[in-house]
């Protein structure tokens, strides 16, 4: 009887797994990414059938009845556009977008008159896909051409800032913006980071007004000091202007920091969004502005062409309809005034709901101090709740807010504010 010798092989699970993965897809190596919290909260709220659910997660204005509010002036502008029945209304825009819109956007954000050509000669601007697109275009442009070592971003900040600058390939550092003990703007910490840690050529990301998520803005004196530090340390300011008009109800007052930096001749980038202040979130309308130093206006055309080169390689041309709406409003004195009135309605209602939220917590003697709710401005409030407390708000009360404790005050109304106050009182007393 013959014996057949068999070869024993040892499995290599890791090697087989790698081989199998490479045979399955070229993309098997992709990292796992977390679900975006803000959009996930909106999704969960939409799916929730509870009768008392409250949406405090997304940055969307709602009326006293909890419904969206298409601005009356926007409806008027759309009616005019419809009546005009322009045969070219679905044509491509140019690479830089609607140039009349871009000029009006400059006027609004920098406080310029329509005839202030001196300042406009040093501003290169393109229409973008709303504020996210403006932040992205600006970040990529600066990363490619200034090649900064680092960008300094406030801690905390809008959830998307880190992703945008990470994609641009710039190292991210944070400056301490929020003082949790006093629930106030950490001016000293901000100045210390910019004066002693940031290096010449670094980018510093600021929010022009109604800081997201804290609702805390520097004073004029503090902005002046920040501007001095940026100029003396040769830092490059990058402003995200997403809430002009929502902080105080006045677009002029809300853009004061931008006007001041422009007046001082400081080079900067500005990402401008019209989603919130025109309530046209889905139209994706914005602009990116590159401001050159006063003595560098000769480089404006080169900067503009390089911005257009980047836009052409990314999306070729921006959406048309939102720009047409805004151009109709900002280009007409009567409609512009009506828009200011609409802004006032939104801003005043948000202030009223801040007051009612504060009054309710004080009336219940909810542990802690709540004056910060009144001191904050704009669409959001940084309530000071822990992630565990927010989780109970969601699970027990169907009140949807960010895990950081950021709440959209525009989601409150006379019908739900008492319910929200009671829920906050419960979690503060009983949940760590």
Active site residues: 158, 240, 276
Question: Residue 136's closest CA among 266, 300, 326, 318?
Answer: 318
Omega prior to 66 cis, within 30 of 0: no
Omega prior to 156 cis, within 30 of 0: yes
Task: State the DSSP string of 345-372.
Answer: HHHHHHHHHHHHHHHHHHHTT-SS--HH
Contact residues for 360 (Cβ-Cβ < 8 A; gap 6+): 417, 418, 421
Contact residues for 81 (Cβ-Cβ < 8 A; gap 6+): 89, 321, 324, 325, 328
Helices (H), 185-268: 187-196, 220-232, 251-254, 256-263
Q: 3-state SS of the chain: helix, strand, coil percent to 5?
A: 50, 15, 40
Q: How many residues does the chain have?
A: 432
- Angle, helix 321-330 to helix 72-84, in steps of 10 degrees: 110
Question: Residue 412's closest CA among 349, 359, 331, 337?
Answer: 349
The tokens describing 100, both together, are 């009349």
The tokens describing 240, both together, are 């995200």
> Counting beta carbons within 10 angstroms of the beta carbon of residue 24, is it exposed (0 to 12), middle (13 to 18) or buried (19 or more)?
exposed
Task: State the DSSP string of 29-89.
Answer: TPPP-PPPHHHHHHHHHHH---TT-EE-SS---B-TTS-B---HHHHHHHHHHHHHT-TTT
Q: Are 105 and 287 in contact (CB under 8 A)?
A: yes
């Amino acid at each position: 009887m013959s014996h057949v010798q068999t070869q024993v092989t040892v499995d290599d699970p890791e090697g087989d797994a790698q081989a199998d993965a490479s045979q399955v897809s070229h993309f098997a190596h992709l990292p796992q990414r977390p679900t975006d919290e803000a959009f996930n909260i909106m999704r969960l709220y939409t799916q929730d059938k509870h009768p008392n659910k409250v949406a405090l997660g997304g940055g969307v204005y709602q009326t006293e009845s909890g419904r969206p509010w298409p601005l009356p002036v926007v409806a008027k502008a759309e009616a005019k556009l419809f009546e005009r029945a322009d045969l070219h209304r679905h044509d491509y825009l140019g690479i830089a977008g609607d140039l009349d819109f871009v000029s009006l956007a400059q006027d609004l954000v920098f406080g310029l008159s329509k005839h202030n050509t001196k300042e406009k000669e040093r501003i290169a601007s393109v229409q973008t896909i709303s504020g996210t697109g403006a932040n992205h275009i600006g970040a990529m442009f600066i990363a490619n051409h200034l090649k900064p070592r680092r960008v300094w971003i406030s801690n905390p900040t809008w959830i998307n800032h880190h992703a945008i600058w990470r994609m641009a390939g710039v190292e991210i550092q944070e400056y301490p913006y929020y003082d949790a003990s006093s629930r106030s703007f950490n001016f000293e910490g901000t100045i210390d980071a910019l004066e002693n840690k940031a290096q010449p050529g670094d980018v510093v990301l600021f929010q022009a007004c109604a800081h997201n998520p804290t609702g805390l803005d520097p004073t004029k004196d503090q902005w002046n000091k920040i501007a001095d530090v940026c100029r003396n340390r040769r830092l490059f300011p990058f402003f995200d202007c997403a809430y002009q008009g929502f902080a105080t109800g006045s677009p002029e007052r809300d853009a004061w920091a931008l006007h001041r930096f422009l007046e001082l001749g400081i080079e900067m980038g500005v990402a401008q969004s019209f989603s919130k202040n025109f309530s046209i979130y889905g139209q994706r309308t914005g602009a990116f502005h590159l401001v050159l130093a006063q003595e560098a206006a000769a480089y404006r055309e080169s900067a503009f062409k390089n911005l257009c080169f980047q836009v052409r390689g990314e999306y070729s041309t921006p959406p048309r309809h939102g720009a047409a709406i805004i151009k109709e409003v900002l280009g007409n004195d009567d409609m512009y005034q009506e828009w200011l009135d609409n802004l006032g309605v939104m801003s005043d209602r948000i202030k009223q709901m801040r007051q009612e939220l504060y009054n309710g917590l004080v009336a219940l003697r909810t542990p802690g101090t709540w004056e910060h709710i009144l001191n904050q401005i704009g669409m959001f409030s940084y309530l000071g709740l822990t992630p565990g407390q927010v989780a109970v708000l969601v699970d027990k009360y169907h009140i949807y807010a960010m895990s950081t404790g950021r709440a959209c005050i525009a989601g409150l109304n006379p019908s739900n504010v008492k319910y929200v106050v009671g829920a906050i009182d419960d979690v503060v007393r009983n949940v760590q």
